[in-house]
Amino acid sequence: MLDFLLRRKRDGQAGRVPAPPPTFPDQNAYERMWEAIQNLPIDDPKAAKPLSFRLAREQGWSREFTMRVMEEYRRFLFLMAVSDHSVTPSITVDEAWHLHLIYSKSYWEDLCLYTVGKPMHHNPSGGSADEESGFKDDYRETLILYRRFFGEPPADIWGPENGKNVKSKG
């Protein structure tokens, strides 16, 4: 499915109808999805001030820390793509996600349509205690899933109390 979408995009035949959600029957499918997300140009190479530059400036982060956050954001995108339940980013990763969302072509077309093959929505909390509890549970589950694929998450980006009231639903 992913190869078909990438080929259609490359050949200029990308249709307006999104692909059905991908399935991940084996390790090779996970590896192909991770490779596709790694190859996604989130930072426009032609831009004088790409997304990572803007993220660093707006958050007051060093270039080195920002690039680490961008890598963790890619990992979060992968978790959204392969998870069968809601996943929740860390506060830090959520900042990268917020900024990527306003680069709408990059997010909705390049990522969701052509790379993952399904929409990945950002659903902030309405603020209720039940929702807050649900987000905390989802954050713990997100960290378990993260460890399954990537090992121990960096504490300065994914600390155990770093969850926030945001869910994603792929």
The whole model's pTM is what?
0.79
Is-contact 154 68, C-beta < 8 A? yes
What span, in angstroms and rounded, lies between the C-alpha atoms of 47 and 69? Answer: 19
Residue 161 has pLDDT above 90, yes or no: no
N-term to C-term CA, the chain: 16
Q: Which residue has the tokens 């793509």?
A: 81
Write out pLDDT tens, residues 51-91: 999 999 999 999 999 999 999 999 999 999 999 888 999 99
Task: Give the per-residue pLDDT at 165.
Answer: 42
Name the residue among 121, 120, 94, 138 with its Cα closest to residue 146. 138
Nearest to 93 by CA among 33, 139, 133: 139
Asked if the model's pLDDT at residue 142 lies above 90, the reply is yes
Strand partners, 87: 168
pLDDT tens, residue by residue, 92-131? 999 999 999 999 999 999 999 999 999 998 887 777 777 7
